[in-house]
A and B are shown apart, each in its own frame.
Chain A
């Protein structure tokens, strides 16, 4: 899937949008800071992934679950994200089941939602 190297980076425009929402209005962000944050986010994805995979391995399971991602947060000492993330997981589960209930048997290909928004 990852054919090009850029595919392993998160889109900077999107990361910048998130940052802007986090900061007070009128704050400007240097180009280098934008690049840095986007890079940091990309590396974070891998960091979390490997922490979660370790958990899966230790439990001798195969598939990665949402709970593994939550547990990984504790392992890498990002406990402060556990609560908000647990909440998101609940919401996610609700949404999924609501969706299932409403759309009957509309096949959801879950994994592969194409949502490319590189701007």
Chain B
């Protein structure tokens, strides 16, 4: 039995990280050292993101919107914006669409995705203005 060596201090499965890395078109082989570091830094990243998101929570409950907020506010997290849109309420979504229609059906692209699940009104509603 070979004990996994230096990886003991890691949580994430190296094999999975490797698979993901290899799914990148330019990557053929992944050496042990870069694999270790990518895994490590991903753990640092998750820790960091969770801590920052938790600061947005006023209770001891971490919710999606707290994470989305961090993502939307930090430009280095731009790469996550598409997968973590800020949620808005249906009402807000309709208001935005109405505003757009009023603006001569202009050609601005919609950057927010609507989701019907979030029911609590968020105070930061007007992030859609251009």
What residues make up the interface of A, taking CB atoms closer than 8 Å to B? 1-2, 7-11, 14-15, 17-19, 21-24, 26-30, 32-33, 36-37, 39-50, 52-53, 57, 63-66, 68-70, 73, 76-78, 80-81, 84-85, 88-89, 91-93, 95-96, 99, 106, 108-118
**Which residues of A are found within 8 Å of B125, using beta-carbon distances?**
none
A51 to chain B, nearest CB (A): 10
What residues make up the interface of B, taking CB atoms closer than 8 Å to A? 2, 4-7, 11-24, 26-27, 29-38, 40-51, 53-54, 60-64, 66-68, 71, 76, 79-80, 83-84
With A and B bound together, what is the CA distance between A32 and B18 in angstroms?
25
B64 contacts A10, C-beta separation under 8 Å? no
With A and B bound together, what is the CA distance between A52 and B4 in angstroms?
25
B76 contacts A78, C-beta separation under 8 Å? yes
A28 contacts B46, C-beta separation under 8 Å? no
**Which residues of A are found within 8 Å of B61, using beta-carbon distances?**
27-30
Given contacts A1-B19, A22-B51, A48-B38, contact A30 B63 (CB under 8 A): yes
A7 contacts B79, C-beta separation under 8 Å? no
Q: Which residue in B14, B17, B21, B41 is a CB contact (below 8 Å) of A81?
A: B41
B60 contacts A24, C-beta separation under 8 Å? yes
B38 contacts A49, C-beta separation under 8 Å? yes
A33 contacts B30, C-beta separation under 8 Å? no
Classify the interface of chain A: helix, strand, loop or mixed.
helix
Given contacts A28-B61, A30-B62, A40-B67, contact A96 B34 (CB under 8 A): no
Given contacts A8-B20, A19-B46, A66-B36, contact A33 B63 (CB under 8 A): yes
B62 contacts A29, C-beta separation under 8 Å? yes
| Interface contacts beyond A11-B16, A29-B61, A99-B5: sample of 9 additional A-B pairs, CB < 8 Å, sorted by A | A18-B47, A29-B62, A30-B63, A41-B46, A64-B27, A64-B30, A81-B45, A113-B32, A114-B15
- The 20 listed contacts between A and B (C-beta, < 8 Å) are A2-B23, A8-B23, A10-B12, A26-B60, A28-B61, A33-B62, A46-B21, A52-B38, A57-B26, A65-B31, A70-B37, A80-B48, A85-B41, A88-B40, A89-B37, A95-B6, A99-B5, A111-B29, A111-B31, A113-B7
Given contacts A28-B62, A36-B64, A49-B27, contact A95 B5 (CB under 8 A): yes
